[in-house]
Structure 1
Amino acid sequence: MDAINEVNEVFKANNIALPIDSQKTVDEGYRLSKGLAIQIEIFGDVITKMRENAPANQRHIQDYLSAFCFGDFYTRNGLDLKTRELLTLCIVSSLGGAEGQVKAHVQGNLNVGNEKETLITAITHCLPYMGFPRTLNALACINEINP
């Protein structure tokens, strides 16, 4: 709450009206379809194939991913797709042990128009926060996907 109160004070001092308008663009009725559409826009037909090849007892995970991560978050206003994808790469890289997802988001970044040098610059900026091992893992993923 302290952080929220501080941010609100900065907003007030800068004449930013509160509450800020919601950035939400989807509702429960179509968040899955909108999320799936964004996933396909970023990653292409690999998403359709991944969903088709998922075992029946695991398909719900694909739906959760599409609806929650992409439907609820990627469809929001406020950031463009290139920025969202770059942030996702940085965050997934910082987790460690998620190299499969890092590689997917490297390709996603390239697909939405972020260049390799942008990815390296962003990961370099994250170095003091995520450490050398995870930074080196992320760089290895970047270099594997885009030598």
Structure 2
Amino acid sequence: MNAEPRNPEPPSTEPRSNGESRLARGRRALAEIDGEAGHAVVAALADIAPDFATYLFEFPFGDIYSRPGLTLRDREIATIAALTAMGNAAPQLRVHIEAGLNVGLTREEITETVVQMAVYAGFPAALNGLFAAKEVFARRFPPAEGVLSEGSPASASPPPGVE
């Protein structure tokens, strides 16, 4: 029996900080992942819940996304899978599909991640996830003028009754 060698040192659980505050680390991570889209969400909440912006920067992006052990690509695969499985987070799923593309995921990797969720979250959740991906892909990668993509209709909207 070939066992994996044991590492006597547990993995680091500290975020990669370089002396940055949680807020600064979160702002940097969010900008790297979502570009201006994440900051637009924060700005949109300023008049109703300004503290929520701080929470959004510090916890998910300053603490979790900044941890060692997974790349941003890996974290976006996990996030896309989780949001797909939830089945009720289409706006956030679209944001993270965009983020996945921003950190180097391919359309095929994103599509396969969503398809995999059919096994664990069911076909309705996977269908909704696929239509969210199709919408993002159509926006990010518009077909050449006058050319439809591989036999599919020009619209990225799901057929009636699917969402």
Give the TM-score range, shorter chain: 0.7 to 0.9
Q: Is 1:128 the equivalent of 2:128?
A: no
- Residue 79 of structure 1 and its aligned partner are, at CA, apart by 1.0
Residues 85-104 of structure 1 aligned to structure 2 (within 5 Å): 85-104=76-95
Unmatched 5+ residue regions in structure 2?
139-163
Q: Which residue of 2 aligns with 1:83?
A: 74
Q: Distance in 2 between matches of 1:39 and 1:80?
A: 14
Unmatched 5+ residue regions in structure 1?
1-12
Q: Distance in 2 between matches of 1:112 and 1:17?
A: 30
One-letter identity of the residue aligned with 2:12: S
Q: Is 1:146 the equivalent of 2:137?
A: yes
- Residue 52 of structure 1 and its aligned partner are, at CA, apart by 2.5
Q: Which residue of 1 aligns with 2:155?
A: none
Native 8 Å contact 2:15 2:64 kept in 1: no
- Residue 26 of structure 1 and its aligned partner are, at CA, apart by 5.2
Q: 1:73 aligns with which of 64, 79, 91?
A: 64
- Residue 19 of structure 1 and its aligned partner are, at CA, apart by 4.9
Native 8 Å contact 1:35 1:68 kept in 2: yes
Calculate the TM-score normalised by the size of structure 2: 0.75
One-letter identity of the residue aligned with 1:78: G
- Residue 144 of structure 1 and its aligned partner are, at CA, apart by 0.4
Q: Report Cα offsets for 1:10-46 as digits up to 9, x if no partner.
A: xxx533234513232257x711211121111111112
Structure 1 runs of 4+ aligned residues shifted over 4 Å read none
Q: Report Cα offsets for 1:61-106 as digits up to 9, x if no partner.
A: 2221221111111111111111111111111111121000000001
One-letter identity of the residue aligned with 1:17: N
**Two-structure CA RMSD over aligned residues (Å):** 2.0
The percent of aligned pairs where both chains have the same amino acid is 29
Native 8 Å contact 2:46 2:53 kept in 1: no
Native 8 Å contact 1:120 1:139 kept in 2: yes
Q: Distance in 1 between matches of 2:75 and 2:38?
A: 18
Q: Is 1:22 the equivalent of 2:12?
A: yes
Q: How many residues align?
A: 135
Q: Which residue of 2 aligns with 1:64?
A: 55
Native 8 Å contact 1:26 1:71 kept in 2: no
One-letter identity of the residue aligned with 2:97: V
